[in-house]
């Protein structure tokens, strides 16, 4: 039996918009998503799902058991916001200073809830189990995926595959982007502490300026991508924060920098700490300073399963049409802790277009980030169709 999930999703559109806006107004950082979890649990319970809360702190799982026996598939949605001050001026903008849903996780939650409602309506025809996993702390390595896995979210009842999506403001509404194999990069984090010798700004020769050394170090680190690694193996080294100094006429004695590195090649990933230290040994010590580098692996590359992705592609074509189901040839250098789920089960992660027509579409993590809510019912119907197709005819 076939169902028109796209048409039925329009009925739930106003609900999804309401859920998304409520979450957007009340964003919560990783492992602090208490209000978010309560909303999710309430909606899932109203749909008749078995609800488990408090998983890995704030995680929520909803289990939809079909009337017919069969396999299981999971849908994962991340819940956390970012420490960013919103500048959208939306009527439903964040009410919490310094916290914002600037990556679309509010939409991910609303879409997954919409899919739960759609599939609950066809429970009597559903051959198997759909598990909805609402995960905390995707934005904060080591992330919430590992904690959820340790809590056993893929068990009792077990699932044999898992899917997720991410909103993409660079794709127009109604389009889907799919990448087979390595779809997203590995990300690692670092903290670099540079120590000089304080002094008076009028006598810099009697001091070792940690700010100057830090500035040179930031520039030097870019040589990793431009000169020290194969240009055919993408590498991104980004310094995200710099903190140092106490007063405008004092030479700073210490500067702390934090950042990320992103790679696709396991070999290059392993080389990066050595290359960073190689550069810093020369640059920092040339100025008479010292340094400490704390380098930590965060998320592995996200690898999509080829057979599951082929099923997802067919499902997407049923919902948005072949012309709007796009195969992406290059991986993204962004990262996702959904990659940990993909190490355990066949997984498929795809992009959902949310770009607004005739409007500026700001990128993820921008204080003006927003999305076209017309994409919400599309995303929900995609999840519902994928789950239905998988349980009806698993790859």
- 152-189 confidence digits (pLDDT tens): 999 999 999 999 999 999 999 999 999 999 999 999 99
Give percent above pLDDT 70 in the chain. Answer: 99
pLDDT per residue as tens digits for the range 215-231:
999 999 999 999 999 99
pLDDT at 361 over 70: yes
Q: Are residues 158 and 306 in the same domain?
A: yes
If asked whether residues 190 and 143 sit together in one domain, one would say: no
Q: Say whether 189 sits in a helix, a strand or coil.
A: strand
Token code pair at residue 251: 């030479």
Tell whether 127 and 210 lie within a shared domain. Answer: no
Residues 259 and 281 in one domain: yes
| pLDDT of 357 strictly over 80 | yes
The CATH number for 295's domain is 3.30.70.360
How many domains does the chain fold into? 2
Pair of tokens at residue 20? 């998304």
**Average pLDDT over all residues of the chain:** 97
| Domain region containing 15 | 5-183+301-392
Under 8 Å between Cβ of 382 and 117: no
Q: Which helix (H) or strand (E) holds 117?
A: helix 105-120
pLDDT category, 1, cuts 50, 70, 90? low
Closest by CA position to 13, among listed 118, 147, 94, 96: 118
Measure Cα distances from 362 to 119, 156, 368 in Å. Answer: 33, 41, 6
Name the phi and psi angles at 369, rounded to 5: -60, 135
Q: Are residues 290 and 326 in the same domain?
A: no
- When pLDDT is averaged across residues 289-301 and rounded to a whole number, the result is 97
């Amino acid at each position: 039996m076939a169902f028109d999930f796209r048409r039925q999703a329009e009925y739930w559109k106003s609900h999804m918009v309401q859920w998304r806006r409520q979450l957007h107004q009340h964003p919560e950082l990783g492992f602090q998503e208490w209000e978010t979890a309560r909303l999710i649990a309430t909606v899932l319970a109203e749909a008749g799902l078995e609800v488990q809360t408090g998983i890995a702190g704030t995680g929520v799982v909803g289990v939809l058991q079909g009337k017919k026996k069969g396999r299981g598939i999971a849908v994962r949605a991340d819940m956390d916001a970012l420490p960013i001050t919103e500048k959208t001026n939306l009527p439903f903008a964040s009410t919490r200073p310094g916290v914002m849903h600037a990556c679309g996780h509010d939409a991910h939650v609303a879409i997954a809830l919409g899919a739960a409602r759609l599939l609950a309506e066809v429970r009597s025809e559903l051959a198997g189990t759909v598990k909805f996993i609402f995960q905390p702390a995707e934005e904060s390595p080591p992330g919430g995926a590992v904690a959820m896995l340790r809590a056993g979210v893929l068990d009792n009842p077990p699932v044999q595959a898992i899917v997720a999506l991410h909103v993409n403001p660079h794709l127009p509404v109604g389009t889907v982007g799919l990448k087979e194999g390595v779809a997203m990069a590995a990300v690692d984090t670092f903290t670099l502490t540079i120590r000089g010798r304080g002094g008076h700004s009028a006598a810099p020769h009697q001091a070792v300026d940690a700010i100057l050394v830090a500035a040179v170090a930031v520039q030097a680190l870019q040589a990793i991508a431009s000169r020290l690694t194969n240009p055919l193996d993408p590498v991104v080294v980004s310094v995200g924060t710099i903190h140092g100094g106490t007063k405008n006429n004092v030479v700073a004695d210490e500067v702390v920098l934090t950042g990320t590195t992103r790679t696709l090649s396991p070999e290059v990933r392993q080389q990066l700490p050595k290359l960073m230290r190689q550069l810093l040994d020369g640059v920092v010590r040339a100025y008479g300073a010292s340094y400490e580098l704390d380098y930590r692996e965060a998320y592995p590359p996200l690898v999509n399963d080829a057979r599951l992705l082929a099923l997802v592609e067919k499902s997407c074509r049923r919902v948005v049409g072949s012309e709007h189901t796009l195969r992406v040839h290059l991986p993204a250098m962004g990262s996702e802790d959904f990659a940990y789920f993909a190490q355990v089960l066949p997984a498929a992660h795809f992009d959902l277009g949310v770009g607004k027509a005739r409007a500026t579409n700001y990128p993820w993590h921008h204080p003006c980030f927003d999305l076209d809510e017309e994409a919400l019912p599309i995303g929900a119907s995609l999840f519902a169709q994928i789950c239905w197709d998988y349980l009806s005819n698993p790859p």
